Amino acid sequence: MKHIILVLFWFLQLTKLTLSQSNLPLTYVSVSKEFINLKPIQSSVIPDEGIMFKRDAALFDIKKGRVFKFPAVAGRDCAVLFKGEGEFIFTPPTDVEKNQLKRFYNKETLREKFTTLFILFADSNETSIINDLEFSTFSADIETKREMEFIIDFISDMDYNYFDTDFMRAFLEGDNNELFYAHIGVDKYEPIFLKISPYDDEEISLLKRRKTGYSTYRLHEIVNKFYRAAKYSSNRPVKLKAADYGIENYKINVNLSKSLNLSANCEALVYPESGNRNWVELYLYHELVVDSVYINNEPSHFERAGSQLWIKRNEVGSTAPFILKTFYSGKLLEKDEFGWVGLKSSLYWYPKYGNRSRSFYDITFSTHKNYKIVSVGELLSTEEHGELITTRWMSKLPIRNASFNIGSFETHEFADEKNKVNVFISEAAHKKISSLLAGAGILSSSNMREKIGADILASIQFYQNVFGKIPLKELNVTSIPYSHAEAFPGMVHLSWINYQGVNFDKSGELMRAHEVAHQWWGIGVDFETYHDQWLSEGFSEYSALWFVQTAFNDNKSFFTILDNWKELILNNRKYLFGSGQEAGPVWLGYRTQSSETKGDYDLIIYKKGAWVLHMLRNMLIDLNNMNEDKFKKMLSDYFKSFYGKKATTDDFKKVVDRYMAQDMSWFFNQYVYGTDIPKYRFSYKSEKMDDGQYKVTCRIVQEDIPDNFKMYVPLKIVLKNDRFARLRIEVKEKDTVIILPPLPEKPEEIIFNDLNSVLCTVNYEKWK
């Protein structure tokens, strides 16, 4: 009897323990491990009539085989596996996305046979497709376990306990919504994927396996991305998803030791947009270690998953603002053999919420006196305490990104009556690398600090005159030990190569002017979504080219660079034996670049985006006197209308419509939303008339474009003694014949597409 009572006691204790564990609060690691370790536990035969279901633009038709159920995750059913025979049918809703599907798969509708379909969902009703089936216990064999590891690998990283962010958000927050993910085994090693996420602005994504060189690794890349069908059927404008939180202020204290180890704390004033969120999701460079987190001075539970920092709120349900304070440390900086200090992450060196909202920043740095610190914001104070120097920087306006730089810098000031540029340069490092380059026969330019300072000051003056004034008291320009450049409010990171002055093709001047232009485009006027990023990068690229043309009175370099960009665009991935995948349109933003279309982001968003502005400039120029006031006023109007705001491509188009005095949809459809680039064949003949004047007939044949393509193309009619006339013609037919106004003499030459005005190819032919 005593033994029975003892066993009963332990049974009750074990039951109590199990029940108490099931009621424990969810943690990131516990939920992610449940997802990562998913294995089927029950199976059933698919009925003779099969199983068919539709999810927005996708249809799944499972004809025969078996279906498998999985254990619950965080107490919720969330996964089903089908094995057998099925078909996946997918049709994007827009022409842009149909064309994008065609680039990857040579078809506008995807019809793919599959043998495996794994679906993951957050909607409790999703299991209704298999509710009528009878299931029996299933014990996963080695092959099934390996297959599940392969499937889960695409949405997880076991080293960091990371699992797909959207599913973690849904299950940690208890969201019961239409979140859906499908791994479609059309090929054993080359699956495709469908994801529907209510957390994305564009909810529907078709994805494929990313390829790199000759190897393949398990990451997704986007083929299609678009809104739910219901949004396309509505005439109401699409609204972007509201953020869960807003952060008004960041107050950051950073201590950097002599050996450049970092210890810091970041205090953020957080505004919950709704009171029902349990977690705050921040991003912090993955090598930085979080020591502790406090909400309103109370310790808060937190977990890391790679670069993600998940923080559990102490007071769920409240919409009151709270102070979130994070203490962290680690190796953010690296010093090379030349003495340059590299910042491993220029954006995520502090716990950051999102990357599209604006906040005020108050940043204090304590550094060793051997180093000089440069930050965004205005320098408010500098104090010395022994070997430490403490500086405080504050942004006067809300900004999107904050960064800093540190090094053994010398400072050189350049100023006019309104502007000031501070050039920070590591003289010793540049002397070392100059010596090294000289040994290889590469000569560095001298006096680069003066060259950089003068160019940047001149570019600021140019942009202020053309676009408008901005509240920029001074611009800090620093060197970084990398090949790229970055712009931040009031600060520019320039590659050491730019400081070295080894470029003699105006690329150095372009890089500097491009980053300065971001103070107007991207920082001054922000862009709404990734579709509109060309309004930042393409605008800055053309602004830089325009500055180089004007400041150096150098039309030759201007047109040479434009021609080089055109050749890159026209000959993109054309090889000796065939051609590669066609580039996408400007409107695709970062999606123009994939593992199969490398380099397209720079080529299309920067260079073709710049060409769009160049074509608008030449359509607005007065060919009688070459006056450009309309183009300048258009850009100034756009800048002033959207300064401090986010603009869309359509916002810019409406400004263009006003200055062109017509609906410019045809132009944007061709060059921003489309990819067609015309080929023109041009010929002309001259005939002397009875009155001694000459009748000139021109023929233009258009190729490689749709029937409704049109463009305004300027002609330059060259006469004797350096005389010439210009006129603009509308070309919109496959075969256009025009007769020019009578000429007093036979033209020596007629230049079609004068001033390189249109992104196109021109071939001159004899009149037939």
Between 436 and 424, residue with greater pLDDT: 424
Tell whether the model's pLDDT for residue 15 goes beyond 70. no
Residue 208 pairs in a beta bridge with 192, 221
Neighbours of 734 (CB within 10 A): 12
Segment 295-320 mean pLDDT: 94
Q: Are 342 and 374 in contact (CB under 8 A)?
A: no
Segment 21-50 mean pLDDT: 88
Q: Are 192 and 184 in contact (CB under 8 A)?
A: yes
What is the reported pLDDT for 430? Answer: 85
Between 674 and 231, residue with greater pLDDT: 674
What is the reported pLDDT for 578? Answer: 56
CATH class for the region spanning 415-515? alpha beta
pLDDT digits (tens, 9 = 90+) for 331-370: 999 998 888 899 999 999 999 998 878 999 999 999 999 9
Q: Is 546-671 assigned to CATH 1.10.1740.10?
A: no
Segment 125-149 mean pLDDT: 93
CA distance 535 to 647: 8
Q: What is the mean pLDDT of the chain?
A: 92
Tell whether the model's pLDDT for residue 726 goes beyond 90. yes
CA distance 516 to 486: 10
What is the reported pLDDT for 25? Answer: 74
DSSP characters for 380-405?
EEEEEETTEEEEEEE-SS-BS---EE
Whether 679-764 and 242-408 are alike in CATH topology: the answer is yes
Tell whether the model's pLDDT for residue 212 goes beyond 90. no
Closest alpha carbon to 462 in 579, 586, 550: 550
Residue 731: pLDDT band (50, 70, 90) is very high
What is the reported pLDDT for 1? Answer: 45
Tell whether the model's pLDDT for residue 259 goes beyond 60. yes
Specify the 3-state DSSP secondary structure of 26: coil
Question: In whole angstroms, how far apart are CA 637 and each of 248, 630, 634, 655?
Answer: 29, 10, 5, 8
CA distance 433 to 336: 12
Q: Are 458 and 421 in contact (CB under 8 A)?
A: no
What is the reported pLDDT for 23? Answer: 53
What is the reported pLDDT for 8? Answer: 38
Closest alpha carbon to 664 in 654, 674, 649: 654
What is the reported pLDDT for 318? Answer: 87
Query: Which token pair is 15?
Result: 């039951």
Q: Worst-scoring range by mean pLDDT, 144-148, 252-256, 355-359? A: 355-359
Question: In whole angstroms, how far apart are CA 126 and each of 179, 363, 715?
Answer: 10, 48, 63
Tell whether the model's pLDDT for residue 577 goes beyond 60. no
Segment 498-509 mean pLDDT: 84
Residue 18: pLDDT band (50, 70, 90) is very low
Cβ-count burial 471-493 (b if 16+ within 10 Å, e if not): ebebbbbbbbbbeebbbbbbbbb
- The single-letter DSSP state of residue 237 is P
Between 440 and 609, residue with greater pLDDT: 609
Neighbours of 497 (CB within 10 A): 20
Domain boundaries, given as residue ranges, for the chain: 29-233, 242-408, 415-515, 546-671, 679-764
CA distance 311 to 293: 8
Specify the 3-state DSSP secondary structure of 357: coil
CA distance 356 to 531: 14
Query: How do strand 288-295 and strand 322-330 relate by DSSP bridges?
Result: antiparallel
- The single-letter DSSP state of residue 445 is P
CA distance 743 to 625: 20
Where is 577: in which H helix or E strand?
Answer: none
What is the reported pLDDT for 9? Answer: 38
Q: Is 242-408 assigned to CATH 3.40.50.2300?
A: no
Phi and psi, residue 742, nearest 5°: -55, 140
CA distance 260 to 344: 12
Q: Are 374 and 362 in contact (CB under 8 A)?
A: no
Q: Are 629 and 590 in contact (CB under 8 A)?
A: no
Segment 714-722 mean pLDDT: 95
Q: Are 290 and 264 in contact (CB under 8 A)?
A: no
Q: Are 760 and 678 in contact (CB under 8 A)?
A: yes
Tokens 């990313």 correspond to 210
Segment 288-293 mean pLDDT: 98
Q: Are 632 and 620 in contact (CB under 8 A)?
A: no
Specify the 3-state DSSP secondary structure of 448: helix
- Angle value at C-alpha 105, between 100 and 108, nearest 5 degrees: 60
Residue 732: pLDDT band (50, 70, 90) is very high
Tell whether the model's pLDDT for residue 71 goes beyond 90. yes
Dump strand ranges (E) for 202-261.
204-212, 215-226, 245-256
What is the reported pLDDT for 168? Answer: 97
Question: In whole angstroms, how far apart are CA 398 and each of 219, 394, 395, 644?
Answer: 35, 10, 7, 9
- The single-letter DSSP state of residue 244 is S
Please provide the CATH number assigned to the domain covering 679-764.
Answer: 2.60.40.1840
Segment 699-718 mean pLDDT: 95
Tokens 């699956």 correspond to 191
Segment 482-502 mean pLDDT: 92
pLDDT digits (tens, 9 = 90+) for 97-118: 999 999 999 999 999 999 999 9
H, E, C per residue of 702-729: EECCCCCCCEEEEEEEECCCCCEEEEEE
What is the reported pLDDT for 445? Answer: 80
Segment 600-607 mean pLDDT: 95
Tell whether the model's pLDDT for residue 3 goes beyond 50. no
Tell whether the model's pLDDT for residue 32 goes beyond 80. yes
Residue 43 pairs in a beta bridge with 68, 136
